[in-house]
A and B are shown apart, each in its own frame.
Chain A
Amino acid sequence: SQKIEQNSEALNIQEGKTATLTCNYTNYSPAYLQWYRQDPGRGPVFLLLIRENEKEKRKERLKVTFDTTLKQSLFHITASQPADSATYLCALGSRRGSTLGRLYFGRGTQLTVWP
């Protein structure tokens, strides 16, 4: 079965620095990959989607890369702010008809940005 690993359960960085979160996966070839943000007591919120044939996607201070050879995605937050503190989840998208639309989530990385 597929396995998704996100780097260290917690990442602490100083405000203004770039946060880099890692998502590695095995036994799977996703059609796409998504990143979500989850705040305490809330459901996850979609941030970015990147397809298997794309290398990089950007949205404001966010950047996602996708390397299907390494089976890895990197999620970057530049000029980080305390408001970026949250848990970030990566999710792999199914390509199979019966499960089209289903996502396989990693356990998440808790990011803390301190002033």
Chain B
Amino acid sequence: GAGVSQSPSNKVTEKGKDVELRCDPISGHTALYWYRQSLGQGLEFLIYFQGNSAPDKSGLPSDRFSAERTGGSVSTLTIQRTQQEDSAVYLCASSLAGTALAKNIQYFGAGTRLSVL
């Protein structure tokens, strides 16, 4: 596809359930990022992948959150035992990344709106 694709676009779940959010980055983009955006708030960084490895996962709020990336492409963000405070829009972005600054432009998906009841 031409852009970053995220699925599902909306997810409603019950407290305590596990959820998986998927991100398909732009083909050829080596870097992939997950952010969380709560209502009226800025983008909260969660994790950054370079290829399949995650050099920076400092933003994951708790051990209930995990993410993986396979084949240097698709990434999945998993939230276990969801809580109401996990309700937010989860955004994924990809970039070429590297030493050339122009490669660090991030391209975002439309996000997954997660609602935990």
Contacts and interface: CB of A to CB of B under 8 A. Distances in A.
Q: Do A and B bind each other?
A: yes
Interface of A: 31-32, 34, 41-46, 49, 51, 89, 93, 98-108
Contacts, number: 66
Contacts of A32: 101, 104
A104 B33 CA distance: 12
A93 B106 CA distance: 11
Contacts of B106: 44, 46, 103
A50 to B, nearest CB: 10
Interface residues of B, number: 29
B108 to A, nearest CB: 3
B55 A99 contact: yes
A100 B111 contact: no
Contacts of B105: 34, 46, 49
A91 B35 CA distance: 13
Contact of A105 (B4, B43, B103): B43
B111 A43 contact: yes
